[in-house]
Amino acid sequence: MAEVVIVESAAAAGELVAEEIARLIARRSDAVLGLATGSTPLPVYAALRNRLAGADLSHVRGFALDEYVGIDPAHPESYRSVITREVVEPLGLNPALVHVPDGAEDGIEHAGAEYDAKIRAAGGVDLQILGIGTDGHIGFNEPGSSFASRTRVKTLTAQTREDNARFFDSIDQVPMHCITQGLGTILEARHLVLLAYGEGKADAVAAAVEGPLTAFVPGSAIQLHPHATVVVDEAAASKLRLADYYRYTFENKPAWQGI
Ligand code: PGA
């Protein structure tokens, strides 16, 4: 099962994961990071900015999880723009080494396979950051997504469009389709780190971590991964049956293991 780490705040989650990423980059200056968008990873990126200020990160490579289909890449809420603004610029990454799925409608039928080929050519993702949707999605793999799925076009659920409407002027502007790494693609990363905060994520976290493996809860795919870490605050952990056990094992974990 995934290792669950319960921390006191989103900021503490960000620090913990940033520390692990810094260790990875210290080992491999050209580490391949799997980058997520949405609110969840922001504390990780903020902590990385502080921790790695002044470090040379120009060899670090990155692959975003997903992109909206048909959005202008220059739109401030395209995931290309978000990754540039939140990750590439503040950390001083080389933009040429940071990839986002191509959401252009022209050629979209081949864009998924091309993206998977790029990830493979880079040697795979070392550490994949993940958020989880209130419906259990990871990336934009909505309920029903095959555990074997590859990067492809998906239709966003009404709930996800509502959840993401806060980034747009109105829900009508939220694209209907996305291109997302598949669950099978995500499972090939060497380390999965899923973060969640707040009571609104408690059901999705419990279902992903302790529920049955089911395509109905795409996040439950992490149970198939040999190195998956779930970092949650107390509120997001509030529905975990084995919360005390997770606290006990983490408190007694040898420090050299990291997460
Ligand atoms: P959020 O979204 O980080 O904005 O809560 C998570 C997700 O939908 O994967």
User: Which residue is catalytic, options 102, 142, 163, 233?
Assistant: 142
Alpha-carbon distances of 162 from 99, 124, 170, 172, rounded to whole Å: 26, 32, 9, 10
Domain count along the chain: 1
At 14, the pLDDT band (50, 70, 90 cuts) reads: very high
Domain at 45, CATH number: 3.40.50.1360
Residue 219 within a domain: yes
Task: Return the best residue to mutate from 17, 42, 45, 132 for the ligand 1 pocket (most ligand atoms within 8 A of CB).
Answer: 132
- Report d(CA 179, CA 111) in Å as an integer: 8
Given 99, 137, 191, 225, the catalytic residue? 137
CA of 52 to the centre of ligand 1 (A): 25
Q: Within a domain: residue 47? A: yes
Question: Which of 35, 37, 39, when mutated, tests ligand 1's pocket best, judged by the most ligand atoms within 8 Å of its CB?
Answer: 39
Integer angstrom CA distances of residue 232 from 86, 139, 242, 257: 21, 18, 13, 19
**What pLDDT shows up at residue 160?**
85
The per-residue pLDDT for 255 is 83
Cα(140) to centroid(ligand 1), Å: 9
Task: Return the residue matching tokens 């999880």.
Answer: 65
In a domain, 259, yes or no: no
What does the alpha-carbon distance between residue 104 and residue 169 come to, in Å, rounded to a whole number?
A: 21
Q: Which listed residue (15, 67, 116, 135) is catalytic? A: 135
Write the single-letter amino acid at 255.
Answer: A
Q: Is residue 154 part of a domain?
A: yes
Instruction: Tell whether ligand 1 has an atom less than 6 A from the beta carbon of residue 133.
Output: yes
Separation of CA 38 and ligand 1 centre (Å): 5
Residue 155 beta carbon below 6 angstroms from any ligand 1 atom? no
pLDDT at 105 > cutoff 90: yes
Give 95 or 157, the one with higher predicted confidence. Answer: 95
The ligand 1 atom at the shortest distance from the C-alpha of residue 160 is 8
Mean pLDDT computed over every residue of the chain: 96
Indicate which residue's Cα is closest to atom 7 of ligand 1: 133
Q: What pLDDT does 176 receive?
A: 96
Determine the pLDDT at residue 159: 86
pLDDT (mean) for 96-115 = 97
What pLDDT is attached to residue 182?
98
**pTM of the full predicted structure?**
0.96
Give a yes or no: residue 256 inside a domain. Answer: no
Q: Can you tell me which residue has the tokens 């990423």?
A: 21
pLDDT at 1 > cutoff 80? no
Instruction: Give a yes or no: residue 257 inside a domain.
Output: no
Buried b (16+ CB within 10 A) or exposed e, 76-90: ebbbbbbbbebbbee
**255 found inside a domain:** no
Mean pLDDT of 146-158: 96
Question: If you measure from the C-alpha of residue 78 to the centroid of ligand 1, how many angstroms do you get, rounded to a whole number?
Answer: 15
Q: Which residue has the higher pLDDT, 256 or 68?
A: 68
Domain span at 203: 3-231
pLDDT at 111: 98
What confidence tens digit (pLDDT) does each residue in 45-62 have?
Answer: 999 999 998 888 999 999
- Give 123's pLDDT tier (boundaries 50, 70, 90): very high
Identify the band that residue 163 occupies on the pLDDT scale cut at 50, 70 and 90: confident
- HEC secondary structure over the chain: CCEEEEECCHHHHHHHHHHHHHHHHHHCCCCEEEECCCCCCHHHHHHHHHHCCCCCCCCCEEEECEEECCCCCCCCCCHHHHHHHHHHHHHCCCHHHEECCCCCCCCHHHHHHHHHHHHHHCCCCCEEEECCCCCCCECCECCCCCCCCCCEEEECCHHHHHHHHHHCCCHHHCCCEEEECCHHHHCCCCEEEEEECCHHHHHHHHHHHHCCCCCCCHHHHHHHCCCEEEEEECCCCCCCCCHHHHHHHHHCCCHHHCC
Per-residue pLDDT tens digits for 187-243: 999 999 999 999 999 999 999 999 999 999 999 999 999 999 999 999 999 999 999
Taking a C-beta distance cutoff of 8 angstroms, is the pair 14, 47 a contact?
Answer: yes
* Structural domain includes residue 74: yes
Ligand 1, closest atom to CA 164? 4
Contact 225, 187 (CB under 8 A): yes
Overall average pLDDT of the 78-106 stretch: 97
Q: Reply yes or no on whether 225 is catalytic.
A: no
